[in-house]
Structure 1
């Protein structure tokens, strides 16, 4: 146990030394010479007839400041939403207004509020983490109770969660369920972002977020525990953006995690969405999603992303923000330990260094780890019952359970599996930092010798070894 602690301490120290001595190849992410304007926004403005949806990031440590709000108003930007913790505003603005904004020394970047996609493919079953729950030594280290992620808050930043499902019961297991509202065309002034909380069911048109939530921490109540999630003791927080999703919606989920961190002990946020048009790109420190996830990292919250479903080709990870050195990005594998064909890959040798908040970071174009994402059985929305995995449901699920569970495949299913494992790790050792969590996941993963790191990351996630290492680092 002491040897393991010394080993991880050495690795962490080496990592910190590396980030100190590697020369930076970019300017400081939070202090560009002038505002960065997203190329997608520039392209969109060439053909736009009226105002476009844009995301403005300001130079501020604590939300959008009054003088920055005044800047928007002075330029005639009167419709939008401002965030409280993040220095970000979503606005409706014309080309002329954006050009003027870009000249302001208060603005870091301006990006198009791009449409995103949820990352589930065809339907399917899951491998479990039963060894963690049944190991007697771990039970004793955990005060006599099995490790279940008890008390760890996990945000499901997705389409929503059906809290009327007994496996995800709202008010007890699903401790909060939020309906996000960032429709810029529905506002008539510049207002702080608002949330509709305490909604029993926010997943009425997709089923995607409910399936993801069940993988993280469903209790298995409707199957006698058979289809229990990875961390059934975790406190789940749903943040639902509906069947359609854009960048500002997802940033709203990050903002909610920050503003409600203390209330729900939020330590993890899982994200199963992406942007295939942003595949094969370099990590962009000025992207508002990267600015948001860095702040979560600074606050001790681990951000988990799905890698995407555009494999088996290289350069297909769906979003530059999935290459951020402070996030965990997950590829999808099958039950035999192989990489799924659909799972997005990075690119061999692609990476670089960037300085953010005075620290030099190294980023790589590859997933962090691989986890189960093929043939996953999890919770379905209760009403209306969608077809989802109808064909595979009949093959994999007992008829009595089909009204409550369905099968799906995709990196959308792989990411929440790792989010659940992180909840188990944090129950075992609540003092773990996001960097320690990521390092443990990488160091304990099972090697996948038939694949390169740019395809699978460090290998297939190993929940037992990861939780064991988390316990050992307490010494």
Structure 2
């Protein structure tokens, strides 16, 4: 049915929606109440129908607030809600479901009385819904067959947002709720999934051989900080999670049985009974395994072995279960869990004064991507969960959220919340060394969808990046074979995802809060943003700070954050012994070229005065490097080039390394230490080197157009210990000096204090030294250590002589018979001599001849009326030899010099060719290329004629012969004709045998035929060529 409706068709960004309709403020005097506007139709989005034939108008959504009602949220917040591209207050995802584009995505969906899967909703009001609104919604639901709480449906409100949360809603009830007074938005409950697909040392939370300074050596472990893990529950009886000292820590289902317990409280929003217990006494189990793993990363002690220690082993645990065991849940559970967490920000758990309330909320989950896939880029941070995250921030809780694992520009709730610290994931490739880290290919990237306010910082998601790939942490206890709880003990497993990078940052925030007890959430977020560093160089400057879409404000570094934010309680490098190690070569101050390999050399030994005993010895030599450079604002930047790495040997050690261009002209500080069998580190030996790159460019001539006379060759260079720049024309001549005025030892001395830009070089070259035409110009850079760069080559066209053609053969002579190249032929054969010529000059050639010479005699000629400059032409000259022997064939272009060419010495090409006498007798043959079809491309619905050339290659005529033709089929060769009598085939002659296949004879596709000729009344000299 075709239907015409009044409409507005718009294409807009999310930011432009908010001004698309004129909504007057509450205080503005109006002459009449606002009226609904025509519907906004968005390409690809199914419209919302209010009846079978009527698309709903765009509602005003400014209801009068009853005098006895109040609002928790800002008035008119709903005008920024997304996803709602058509701005009608109905979640776009629900419109897809109503239009049957895809079914309900609710994990708790059942089949309703309308025959369709039920929905899970967040019904947003303009004021906080109380008994009146609850009753109205319940009445509508029941009238459509809602199963209510008796059917295990959820129906509740939370104090922080003005919404009713409900599931198992029949789709038939949706429009009645939509038209209910006070309803301003109907959200589809987000389907929340865990963001899951070596960390503590890699972010320097723990010291290591690679990074000898860690947060633990600064005396910071997250002591006294409480982290709420909102996840699938936590098996807190695990030895890494049950207590702090890991003594007498056998697993016990009673979390309060330990004298120094980590677990403080719990809440289970997924259980209809336990969700009513809000005093924190519930201790949820983890039967999915995700929450326990996450908790171990954030705050695990690593058991007595201390192998798998979390980021903040001194932090306390609050276990908030918001996922069912299948790992997917409606956001009603996360909403309830977030609300409980906010309400308990300052709760006294009855443990001790340092473990009250909740400081950090870690959320390793996010909204599942819509079935529409690539069109879904997330949301703008305006849905129920995002608004609750912002409320948590306002309450003083630091919220940490996972970016998600789609490997796409997709930022969804809760990471999309304005105030959530959104975390991306890196891959540390299973090493502590940070310089080999990469952004994980599964990690989502930003920016977030625009929410239309004036704060562009809201859209900068992610905030930071942390290790998330192949992270070892706590393994939960799976359910037993006949049910019942099974206790986790001391097992660990490996998982990947932004689920893992999120608790890394949650743990780091605990370290920051211990070091800075007065910090508010904004202070924590600023510390992370200000004191992180980047994996890649593609960054954008935002009000003086650097950000990129994959890493946010950079990779977290616990030591840098703690030291620069004023935290830390002392500590430092491991105790050092004496000077046991030396570094001899390269010499201090040496300039090093990027890409070259250098060998460091030195010696090491422990002086007798420092030997602990007779077995005391050095076991390894370790080397690390950092680079420094001055920024434009005169600040000295200090970065890690590579972490502690083993050298080869001990007494006379060596270390090979290849410098990278960490920063042009940077200082590279190499530090060498010796480690003995007692774990003592020596005092360092060190050297400072300088890092530069050797590059060469050729700017002029550009290769476009021609050059003549004196030509300036010029370009730019950078050179480490450069000596000279050379050039040559062509590949035969010697190299010539272009410039030896090279900046030495490099183009700058201190990066960003001196100009490290490339310098210019130039030289004049007399182009009349070479013929006109195309040449290759080469340039190269030579250093004083003998290093020679790969040459730059540039094609140039020299044109000193006035415009003239230049005719030349550009191929060898090819001799063919019947289109087939041959190496010999018989006397009397008609041959073709093929050659390609070109006009390489810069003027057209007109009316010139090309001749074929056979042993000094002209045997063929062809006149060419025109050959344009730079064009080629394939020629075919006839050749009919009458004598046997070796023939010298020459093709000569313009033999009479009718054209004045720039060159006259390149007009000829020649070859030798053998002509044989024909033998006596008869030699009938069907040779390659002897068969043609007419038409050349056959049509199965038309006639096709095959013409086969039968030749007599010998000198005597045949007395008689027969001809047969066969076609290949699935049964083998099928005869089409046999025994056709042929006329006499004269010596050195031929006959053409035609055969017609009539319409319908052939099937489409490739068809194979076989032709055979047989001599009668005599002997064929070569029967092998009869077929």
Residue 379 (1) aligns with residue 462 (2): no
Displacement after TM superposition at 1:254 (Å)? 0.6
- Asked if the contact 1:304/1:415 (under 8 Å) is kept, the reply is yes
CA, structure 1 residues 54+458, in 2 after alignment: closer, same or farther (shift >3 Å)? same
- 3-state DSSP of counterpart to 1:424: helix
Distance in 2 separating the partners of 1:194 and 1:38: 32
- Asked if the contact 1:377/1:407 (under 8 Å) is kept, the reply is yes
- Asked if the contact 1:332/1:374 (under 8 Å) is kept, the reply is yes
CA, structure 1 residues 328+29, in 2 after alignment: closer, same or farther (shift >3 Å)? farther
Distance in 1 separating the partners of 2:333 and 2:232: 10
Query: Could you report, residue by residue, the CA deviation over 1:387-416 in whole angstroms, capped at 9, with x for unpaired residues?
Result: xxxxxxxxxxxxxx9952111111110000
Residue 323 (1) aligns with residue 416 (2): yes
Distance in 2 separating the partners of 1:59 and 1:276: 27
Higher strand share: 2
Query: Could you report, residue by residue, the CA deviation over 1:423-458 in whole angstroms, capped at 9, with x for unpaired residues?
Result: 111122233222222121111001223444011111
- 3-state DSSP of counterpart to 2:228: strand
- 3-state DSSP of counterpart to 2:216: helix
Residue 270 (1) aligns with residue 362 (2): yes
- 3-state DSSP of counterpart to 2:562: helix
Residue 422 (1) aligns with residue 509 (2): yes
Which residue of 1 is the match for residue 531 of structure 2?
444
TM-score (normalised: structure 1): 0.76
Residue 260 (1) aligns with residue 349 (2): no
Which residue of 1 is the match for residue 462 of structure 2?
367
TM-score (normalised: structure 2): 0.37
Displacement after TM superposition at 1:119 (Å)? 1.7
Displacement after TM superposition at 1:44 (Å)? 2.5
Which residue of 1 is the match for residue 335 of structure 2?
251
Displacement after TM superposition at 1:367 (Å)? 1.1
- Asked if the contact 2:460/2:552 (under 8 Å) is kept, the reply is no
- Asked if the contact 2:312/2:510 (under 8 Å) is kept, the reply is yes
- 3-state DSSP of counterpart to 1:277: coil
CA, structure 1 residues 385+70, in 2 after alignment: closer, same or farther (shift >3 Å)? closer
CA, structure 1 residues 434+167, in 2 after alignment: closer, same or farther (shift >3 Å)? same
Residue 410 (1) aligns with residue 497 (2): yes
Which residue of 2 is the match for residue 102 of structure 1?
178
- 3-state DSSP of counterpart to 2:359: strand
Displacement after TM superposition at 1:236 (Å)? 1.0
More divergent stretch after superposition (295-304 vs 268-277): 268-277
CA, structure 1 residues 405+50, in 2 after alignment: closer, same or farther (shift >3 Å)? closer
Distance in 1 separating the partners of 2:174 and 2:364: 30
CA, structure 1 residues 285+345, in 2 after alignment: closer, same or farther (shift >3 Å)? closer
Higher helix share: 1
Query: Could you report, residue by residue, the CA deviation over 1:318-348 in whole angstroms, capped at 9, with x for unpaired residues?
Result: x15423321111111122332112222225x
Displacement after TM superposition at 1:148 (Å)? 2.0
**Structure 1: unaligned runs, 5 residues or longer:** 1-22, 136-145, 387-400
CA, structure 1 residues 125+427, in 2 after alignment: closer, same or farther (shift >3 Å)? closer
Residue 432 (1) aligns with residue 485 (2): no
Query: Could you report, residue by residue, the CA deviation over 1:44-78 in whole angstroms, capped at 9, with x for unpaired residues?
Result: 344562642212233447xx533332332343455
One of 265, 286, 308 as aligned partner of 1:227: 308
- 3-state DSSP of counterpart to 1:446: coil
- Compute the RMSD of aligned alpha carbons: 3.3
Which residue of 1 is the match for residue 164 of structure 2?
89
- Asked if the contact 2:401/2:415 (under 8 Å) is kept, the reply is yes
Which residue of 1 is the match for residue 296 of structure 2?
214
Residue 294 (1) aligns with residue 390 (2): yes
One of 137, 144, 162 as aligned partner of 2:235: 162
Distance in 1 separating the partners of 2:404 and 2:427: 15
- Asked if the contact 2:269/2:275 (under 8 Å) is kept, the reply is no
Q: How many residues align?
A: 407
Residue 134 (1) aligns with residue 207 (2): no
Distance in 2 separating the partners of 1:445 and 1:196: 38
- Asked if the contact 2:465/2:551 (under 8 Å) is kept, the reply is yes
Residue 344 (1) aligns with residue 444 (2): yes
Distance in 2 separating the partners of 1:470 and 1:85: 35
Displacement after TM superposition at 1:379 (Å)? 0.8
- Asked if the contact 1:212/1:412 (under 8 Å) is kept, the reply is yes
CA, structure 1 residues 344+284, in 2 after alignment: closer, same or farther (shift >3 Å)? closer
Distance in 2 separating the partners of 1:297 and 1:275: 20
Q: Counterparts in 2 of 1:302-321, with a 5 A limit?
A: 302-311=398-407, 314-317=408-411, 319-321=412-414
Distance in 1 separating the partners of 2:230 and 2:440: 24
CA, structure 1 residues 242+282, in 2 after alignment: closer, same or farther (shift >3 Å)? closer
- 3-state DSSP of counterpart to 1:36: coil
- 3-state DSSP of counterpart to 1:75: helix
- 3-state DSSP of counterpart to 1:232: coil
- Asked if the contact 1:283/1:324 (under 8 Å) is kept, the reply is no
Which residue of 2 is the match for residue 239 of structure 1?
320
Which residue of 2 is the match for residue 118 of structure 1?
194
**Structure 2: unaligned runs, 5 residues or longer:** 1-14, 20-73, 80-86, 101-114, 143-147, 207-213, 243-254, 348-355, 429-435, 482-487, 540-547, 569-1027
- Asked if the contact 1:289/1:321 (under 8 Å) is kept, the reply is yes
- Asked if the contact 2:237/2:489 (under 8 Å) is kept, the reply is no
Distance in 2 separating the partners of 1:97 and 1:305: 34
Distance in 1 separating the partners of 2:265 and 2:402: 23
Which residue of 2 is the match for residue 52 of structure 1?
119
Distance in 1 separating the partners of 2:98 and 2:141: 17
Of the two, which has the highest radius of gyration?
Answer: 2
Instruction: Flag the structure with more relative contact order, 1 or 2, with Cα contacts below 8 A and sequence separation at least 6.
Output: 1
Distance in 2 separating the partners of 1:373 and 1:50: 36
Query: Could you report, residue by residue, the CA deviation over 1:130-150 in whole angstroms, capped at 9, with x for unpaired residues?
Result: 211212xxxxxxxxxx32222
Distance in 2 separating the partners of 1:463 and 1:40: 41
- Asked if the contact 1:157/1:269 (under 8 Å) is kept, the reply is yes
- Asked if the contact 1:340/1:374 (under 8 Å) is kept, the reply is yes
Displacement after TM superposition at 1:182 (Å)? 6.2
Which residue of 1 is the match for residue 7 of structure 2?
none
- Asked if the contact 2:400/2:421 (under 8 Å) is kept, the reply is yes
- Asked if the contact 1:257/1:266 (under 8 Å) is kept, the reply is yes
CA, structure 1 residues 182+90, in 2 after alignment: closer, same or farther (shift >3 Å)? farther
Distance in 2 separating the partners of 1:470 and 1:365: 22
